Amino acid sequence: MSGSGQATQAEREAARWIARLEAANVSLDDHRKFRRWLNAAPGNRAAYEAVARTWDKLDTLQFLDPTAVEPSLQPSRRWLLAGGAGGAIAAVAAGVLIIPMIGDANATPYATRVGERKSFRLADGSSAELNADSAIRVALTSKARRVRLVQGEALFDVRPDAGRPFVVETAFGELRVHGTIFLVKLGIASTRATVLQGEVEGVGEASLFSRPASTLAAANQEITLDGAQVTQAPLAPQALAHRLAWRDGMLAFDGDTLADAALEIERQTGVHFQFADPAVAHMRVGGYISATDVDAFVELVQADLRLHAARPSANVVILSR
C-alpha cells in the first residue's frame, strides 16, 4: 500500500482484479483484460504485487469501493470467519468475500510475464517453476505452507516436512501434500493436478450441507478439481511428456477445450483469441506445436475443427464455425 496509508487508484484497481480472478465465474475474457491492464501503465504491476501481498488481511477492505464492485462477482470459496462479524459484514457489503490464507500477512508473490518461464526457490527449500503468464502467492509459517495459484500453471517440487503440510489453493479446490513433485494448471472451468512423484490429496469445495469431497492420487495419476467435484484418473504414458512440453517451449493438447488451449497460446504469445459463437469455446482440440507458433495453432483448429479464423489485427484472432 502507498506510504500515505491511503490506497492509490492503481491499488484499488488491483484489488478489483484480484477479486475478479478469484471468482468462480472468471472467464477467458477476464484474464485477457487483466493482462492488458497489468501492462497498460508502469505502476500497475507494482500495485498488483503490493496488494497481493496483503490481500487476505481484513484491512484490505479499504482497497475496495463498494459502489464499484460488480454484483455478479461470486466467490470461488466460502468465507472463513477470521476477523469477527464486523469484518464479514463489511466484506458482504462490498460484494466481495475475502478468503484469508493461513499466515498470509507476509505472503510473497511470484509471477512470470507473457512468454516467460522461470523457477523460484521458496524459503522452505521447495521450488516452483512457473509457466508463462502465471502467478502464485506463498505464505509460509511454522505450522503451515500455503500457496495460492492465482493464474496459469506451476510445477512444484515440495521439500518434505511432516509438521508443515504444503497446500496449493485454487479457485476450484485445493491440493495437499507433505513432500512430492506435481504440476498444477488452472483452467477456465477446473484445476488439473498431475502427480509426478509421491502422493497428492485433492479436496473440493465444501457446502453448507456436506463435507468436501476428496481423493488421493499417486505418481502417474491426475486429479481434476471442479468446485464440489473431485475426480482421479490414471495418466497415459505419453501424457506426462505432453503435460511438461511447455518446459521445452512446446505445447501439447490432448482433448483440451478450445478456450483452455487458446488461453495457453495467449499466455505464451500475447495474441488474443475471441469466439464468434460461445459454443466454439467448448470444442475439443488435440495437437503438438511450438509454444510461440500462433499460425500453427490457427492451422490446427482450422484443419481439425473446421473453424474459420479471422485476423482483424496482428494480435487478435476471431474463431467461428
Report the relative pairing of strands 127-130 and 118-121 from DSSP bridges.
Answer: antiparallel
Between the CA atoms of 80, 81, 86 and 88, what dihedral angle is there, to the nearest 10 degrees? 20
Report whether 191 contacts 207 (CB < 8 A). no
Residues 150, 218, single domain; the answer is: yes
User: What domain range is 180 assigned to?
Assistant: 104-235
Considering the domain boundaries, does residue 44 fall inside one?
A: yes
Phi, psi at 172, each rounded to 5°: -120, 10
Q: How confident is the model at residue 36 (pLDDT cuts 50, 70, 90)?
A: confident
In this predicted structure, the answer to whether residue 231 has a pLDDT above a threshold of 50 is yes
Using DSSP's 3-state secondary structure scheme, residue 34 falls into helix
pLDDT tens digits for 142-154? 889 999 999 999 9
Residues 180, 288, single domain; the answer is: no
In this predicted structure, the answer to whether residue 13 has a pLDDT above a threshold of 50 is yes
In this predicted structure, the answer to whether residue 230 has a pLDDT above a threshold of 90 is yes
pLDDT tens digits for 158-206? 999 988 999 999 989 999 998 899 999 999 889 999 999 999 999 987 7
Interatomic CA distance for residues 64 and 239, integer angstroms: 43
Between the CA atoms of 44, 46, 50 and 52, what dihedral angle is there, to the nearest 10 degrees? 60
Residue ending a domain, among 187, 220, 235, is 235
- CATH number of the domain at 198, please: 2.60.120.1440
Residue 263, strand partner residues? none
Residue 137, strand partner residues? 109, 148
Residue ending a domain, among 201, 235, 269, is 235
Which residue, chain included where needed, has cell 511432516?
162
Considering the domain boundaries, does residue 267 fall inside one?
A: yes
